Every structure is written in C-alpha cells, then in structure tokens.
Amino acid sequence: MPFCVIRQGECISSIAAFNRIPWRKIWEHPHNSQLRQLRKNPNILLPGDKLYVPQRNTKSIIGNTDQRHRFQLNDNITFLRLRIAIKGRPLSDEPYHLTLGGTLISGRTSVEGELEERIPAGFRNATLNFVERNWTIQLALGELDPTDTASGAAERLRNLNYYVEGHVDAITPVLREVIGQFQRVQGLNESRELDSDTVKRLSSIHGC
C-alpha cells in the first residue's frame, strides 16, 4: 500500500497502528513532505488527503530451540488531549472516567480544565464520564478536520457553543456569520473569512 487516501476518522496514529509501523516513519517519509506542509498536525488530516505508507521492515532472529527467548512488541501509543469548559470556564480538578473498549482510565482535569491520557492508537470511539456531575460525553476520535477547512472550523465553533447546524463542507453565508461572531468576540478583524489570524486563534482556544 504505497499511498492511501484518508477517510473520515483516520489519522496518522490509526494508520500506523493498522500497518504496525511507527507513525514517525510514515509521517517523516520524503514522499509525505508536501502533506506535512499542508497539514501541520499529523493527527488532524482531511478526508481525501493522500498519505504514503512505506512497507514494514521485517527481520529474522536466530535462537536456540532449547532456550527461552523474550521479544517485545512496540505497540503504537498516542495521546488523547482534551480541554473541557462550561460557558467558557474551565472544568478544573474534576474527576473523570475514560472508557475505551474494555479499558477504564480514571483521572482528574487540570486547573485549565485539560486532560491528557496515553491510549492505544486505532480506537475510533471513547466515552468520557464526569462522575460527580453525572455528565457523559461520547467522543468520536480522529473525526476532527483541519481548522483551516470549512468542516474543521464549523466543528470547533460548535464545540465552543457557537450555533452551527448540521455538517458543513463549504463556507456558507451562515458559517460566515458565525465566523464573524467569533472574530468579534476575540477582537479580531471581522473579515468573516478563515484568515490566518482566525485559524490560529480558533485552534488555540479549542485546543487543537
């Protein structure tokens, strides 16, 4: 599989896990230099992006049959990073349970309302439960599109409680109005376009 076309929900971590190749070996391959210029975050790709996936290296090891040998498999691990806020205020020091498949991870958010957990790459869904609030969030991992795209901007604005209805794959008049609202609140030039300052501020406030 020299090149693969990214589908919705795929990212460098899930592709590396599926092919059992370290993600850096894929992302830093010379054939992916153009994609690296286009997408700064390898875990936020756009459906339709083309990613070169090199072949997996194999090797043979000789060992005596009358001896016990130990081999270590280096599974692909990625990080789940979230910033949780209610009406703009960080959800600080809040206990949570994160469920991925049959695995339960417990922790507390930081003062800034952030959580960071090491998780196996390849998971597409997770459940985040804030135990003291009886509040559950269903997470679709890898579904977030790049910020400088209409769909990616709309997803982030929706997560920040701006009203964006349904799936958006183009800059519509309604989305322009919402972008303008965001720019006004942030003190940016109200261009109603996804200019570089708006993309940077939206990524920063959203967390990615």
**Partners of 78 in the beta sheet?**
119
Burial of residue 147 (number of CB atoms within 10 Å: 0-12, 13-18, 19+): buried
Q: Could you say which DSSP state residue 192 is in?
A: -
Q: Which residues contact 94 (CB under 8 A, 6 or more apart)?
A: 84, 108, 109, 113, 130, 132, 133
Residue 122 lies in a domain: yes
| Domain at 199, CATH number | 1.10.101
Could you tell me if residue 43 is inside a domain? yes
Residue whose structure tokens are 């417990």: 106
Number of continuous H segments (helices) and E segments (strands) in the chain: 6, 10
71 within domain boundaries: no
Tokens for 157, please give them.
């604005």
**Within-domain flag for 69:** no
Residue 60 inside a domain? The answer is no
How far apart are the C-alpha atoms of 136 and 99, rounded to whole Å?
A: 11
Domain range for 15: 3-52
Residue 145 lies in a domain: no
In a domain, 125, yes or no: yes
User: Structurally, how many domains does the chain consist of?
Assistant: 3
Strand partners, 93: none
Per-residue pLDDT tens listing for the chain (208 residues): 588 899 888 888 888 888 888 888 999 999 999 999 999 888 889 999 999 999 876 666 666 666 776 655 555 678 888 888 887 788 999 999 999 988 899 999 999 999 999 888 778 889 999 989 999 999 988 888 999 999 999 999 998 889 888 888 889 999 999 999 999 999 999 999 999 999 999 998 888 8
Q: Has this prediction a pTM greater than 0.85?
A: no
Residues 30 and 48: their CA atoms lie apart, in Å, by: 19
The DSSP result for 157-196, as a single string, is HHHTT----S---S--HHHHHHHHHHHHHHT-----S--H
Shared domain check, 22 and 44: yes
Q: Do 122 and 172 fall within a single domain? A: no
* Claim to verify: residue 90 and residue 127 sit in the same structural domain: yes
Q: Is residue 167 part of a domain?
A: yes
Same domain for 133 and 100: yes
The verdict on 185 and 161 lying in the same domain is yes
